[in-house]
A and B are shown apart, each in its own frame.
Chain A
Amino acid sequence: MTEVMPDLAIETRGLVKRYRNVDAVNGLNLSVPRGAVYALVGRNGSGKTTTIRMLLDLARPDAGTARVLGMDSHVERVAVLERVGYVSDRPLLGGWTGEQLVRFTGGFYPRWSDELVARYVQVFDIPMKQKFRNMSRGNQTKMWLLLALAQQPEVLILDEPTAGLDPVVTDQLLRVLVEDVASDGRTVFLSSHHLAEVERIADWVGMIDKGRLLLETPMEELRAKFRRIQVAGVAEMTPVAAMRVRRSGGSTEYVVRDGAEEFVDALEREGATVLQSSPMNLSEIFLECLSAEGKERE
């Protein structure tokens, strides 16, 4: 286990990408610590893939900068790509077999390991003589992952790695991420909308909506601070960090993003009966953040 070093594996500042009139990414500031398993979560079309493409110089920002391992993704493109693995759900050279892809890709990476290729071919049970385009969705993802892991990247970037995978392949993939990448102190940056998965393997989370960052924080902090508090009767108090207050006939429900304990104490001093102060899972927190953001813009 490595301590999280103060420097950042990935850093974007004021990142903007427009497609026609749409701001796909709109002034994004991401700070991904080295050694983190960082999940960028958001709805479909929130800008996750566009962000990842700019990190890898597959798309050019209209404004702002993207840096990986301290290097500008565009200016130092080759040096970045040598040290970063990338897994996507896009097609690789479809007419090539797994074996051909391995031979071709290996030539580009100074730290390429044939031992790792052999190991993951076995672990993942990939049909290496099949053409990529004829492989199942699960095997295609495994092929991407094999190529990314064999180059021994310092940063592994995965765009929706588990989308469309069956539970068995999903489980294999998560195990490899935890055991072979995260446990080595290497950085994992993944986009996802599978929040239950993310909640287990990520230790940092960034929430993005309409190309903007809603929140970026260590996972444990998020879970420690957000609380849903239910009070009997109609309480008039409003906590400082309230995200939502709902009063109905017999009770009041608060969602707070901080200071839950102090607020519960204050309520009880006022004579209110606190029925429940319960933690929230990532999915609930995400929905609250989205709805709070929506209200702010109205």
Chain B
Amino acid sequence: MIFRIHSGSGVPIYLQIEAQVKQAVAAGALERDEAMPSIRQLAADLRVNPNTVARAYSNLEREGTIRTVPGGGTFVAARGTGLVKAEKLRRVRPIATQLAVEAKQVELTEADTVRLVEEAWEMLGTRNGVEHD
């Protein structure tokens, strides 16, 4: 797993780390029970403050993406974030809004836009398919 940090973007670094871990898990690049780099290791690799990595890890752990074994390291958690559906919707809605705005701006139809989401969904593969309630 290779992380990339963009310093100039204004997006907080811990959010960049969180997003990249989630993306890697969703795409299957990080598999269940795979070991994550230690906080010290990742901080050194990225040349970022260790507290920043710690913050990203603790957020990811709280929402169930990774788990920490005391004294034994950090691992990718079992699939299923443990979030209630309302919370899942709350998180994704702003991105959907953004998508709709952009699509309308360039005069894409609703059907074309939905098709884009479907394509993106397929690209993530079946390995991490839909989670049913």
Contact = CB atoms under 8 A, between A and B. Distances in A.
Interface string B26-60: 00000000000001100110111111101100000
A124 B39 CA distance: 23
B11 A203 contact: no
Nearest to A218: B51
Given A200-B46, A201-B49, A1 B39 contact: yes
A285 to B, nearest CB: 9
Contacts, number: 64
A157 interface: no
A200 B12 contact: no
Contacts of B8: 196, 281, 283
A203 B43 contact: no
Contacts of A171: 47
B49 A202 contact: yes
User: At the interface, is chain B mostly helix, strand, loop or mixed?
Assistant: helix
A288 interface: no
Secondary structure type dominating chain A contacts: helix
Contacts of A121: none
B77 interface: no
Contacts of A284: 10
A200 B48 CA distance: 5
B13 interface: yes
B74 to A, nearest CB: 13
Nearest to A188: B49
B14 interface: yes
